[in-house]
Amino acid sequence: MSTLSVTLVQADLAWGNIPQNLDHIGNMIKGHTGPMEVVFLPEMFSTGFMMEPERLAETMDGQAVNWMKQLAEQKKIILTGSLAIKEEGHFLNRLVWALPNGQLGTYDKRHLFAYADEDEHYSAGARRLVASVKGWKINLQICYDLRFPVWARNQINEHGESEYDVLAYVANWPRARSLAWKTLLQARAIENQCYVIGLNRVGKDGNNIDYSGDSMVIDPLGEILYHGPDTEDVTTVILEKSRLEEIRGRLPFLRDADQFQITI
């Protein structure tokens, strides 16, 4: 419970090719020799960030989700990333949290990227997902959510406990706005006194948009523990609970924060 290993799979995604992406990412994971407990995949890892859900979205019984379940069971890991999902007549940019026992958690992207017309093709989510593993609490979000700090705000409950310990973003964040990506990831870590994971893709997509990677793991003081290259990479970082508790104990800033509720 004192440590948690997080593995970031910074992949180049084949545009709209689900079988190729699943095969490629699977090989990247299987070829990694380090410890793996929670493995993060990019946003829309099976297709790329495509605005064609009518053609590409799958159900929760589809190929990509079943692949996640099988790989999680095979490697005895938790596997998470987002997919284009069709459910009850809606299309969703859905993060799936796949446990090795076959159980699933889900988070539907709250903030849809209107600049790329995502809001015209997908429906927004209305609830957060804070997953629990080994005593760690992980707030799971997607890409554009990073620009909205209220949605991520860590709060102290009536027992004096923080809502979460790790804030994670899976993304397709373009190179052209990489400064905002890196700056906001550090800001989220500092203001919420938590570890932050930002997992991004690399390469160019079918719209000729370039992605620089820049995946990061950041500690609760904003110190960078890992900064990914602009090439494909699989890296594991060990998070230390003692480091988190020491910082929160020495600098109890969250106790002074405003209390509020979000109304959807």
Q: What confidence tens digit (pLDDT) does each residue in 20-63 have?
A: 999 999 999 999 998 999 999 999 999 999 999 999 999 999 99
- On whether residue 35 sits in a domain, the answer given is yes
Domain containing 127: what range? 3-251
Residues 229 and 215: beta-carbon distance below 8 Å? no
Q: Quick one: tokens of 252?
A: 């109890």
Annotated active-site residue 143? The verdict is: yes
The DSSP line for 247-261 is HHHHS-GGGGSPP--
Annotated active-site residue 58? The verdict is: no
- Catalytic entry in 43, 118, 182, 194: 43
- On whether residue 170 sits in a domain, the answer given is yes
Residue written as tokens 């400064």?
179
Q: What confidence tens digit (pLDDT) does each residue in 84-116 have?
A: 999 999 999 999 999 999 999 999 999 999 999
Annotated active-site residue 43? The verdict is: yes
- Catalytic entry in 37, 118, 143, 194: 143
- What total number of domains does the chain contain? 1
Q: What confidence tens digit (pLDDT) does each residue in 104-156 have?
A: 999 999 999 999 999 999 999 999 999 999 999 999 999 999 999 999 999 99
- What count of Cα atoms within 13 Å lies in the side-chain half-sphere of residue 132? 3
- On whether residue 68 sits in a domain, the answer given is yes
pTM of the model: 0.98
Residue written as tokens 């090439």?
231
- On whether residue 52 sits in a domain, the answer given is yes
- On whether residue 42 sits in a domain, the answer given is yes
CATH number at residue 78: 3.60.110.10
- Catalytic entry in 37, 58, 69, 109: 109
Tell me how many degrees the CA angle 136-139-140 measures, rounded to the nearest 5.
Answer: 120
- On whether residue 262 sits in a domain, the answer given is no
